[in-house]
Structure 1
């Protein structure tokens, strides 16, 4: 089940609110310019599917988003607990960063704690299979995939260079609960 925990940056141990209903999560994020939706694959995704197979399963939706919202770059982020570079990927994605263009993440399998730092608030969205989050350019963010990751997500970017992260150098992520807490 997807959840949204909203924190003030000064109180990372105590959320201001925790939401579990889809409509409440979507409307709270919409107030920040963030879209939260649910999608279904028209064809099943098999475990260990390649990037090409995942993209092809969602080709119609990807093409629609690319046309309507200008997303020109698509890739698949996939991490499992037996990945040989698991620790490196996890450490990189846990650093607070931002992107020059808008970004959309669709969770095809597994789950991740996708966290947005907007002003004085931190929005920790536990995303699971079929969740889609659209994030405006410049939004500070990080993603926690947990100690035993299982995550497959399609990422779309409207920046010509795709996923180019600018790291903030701040350790904001380290002060907030992790996926495994």
Structure 2
């Protein structure tokens, strides 16, 4: 078996791996795990091969993570581009309600946030406790991210499950300049 062919394994639907003469087969679960690992590690070439072989770009992993959530959270723009080009939905949520944009807002990766927004990601999808990407950016001091999200139309007036808005969170963080910018965005 060549190196390249071993990176895109044949799929078996059976519960246990099956091997034939000179061929290595993987279970569906093993193939899915290899696909998700390729997203997590940012291996765009391998992702392309998996997707060409029919893998679902919106596959759900443990905790509801999608390949796009895994790729973007780990800072892999090229892998994200491959997934988006093959139909990955940017607003899918994990089991806690987080989207890919929420993850990059938390991390402060402005370039990936722009990529997701350009691909149609909704700017205000709240997680299970009502926190939006803007709120995550504010909570973790990601000022350039917060400003990008505001420019993209993020609502500065939404409130989380505790009743706090992005302004409240900025004030809690002692970031009066950002709180002021968010207030200005709310006014107009």
Q: Do they superpose with TM above 0.5? A: no
Larger % of helix: which? 2
TM-score band (shorter)? under 0.3
When the two structures are superposed, what TM-score results if normalisation uses the length of structure 2?
Answer: 0.27
When the two structures are superposed, what TM-score results if normalisation uses the length of structure 1?
Answer: 0.27
Q: Which has the higher contact order (CA 8 A, sep 6+)?
A: 1
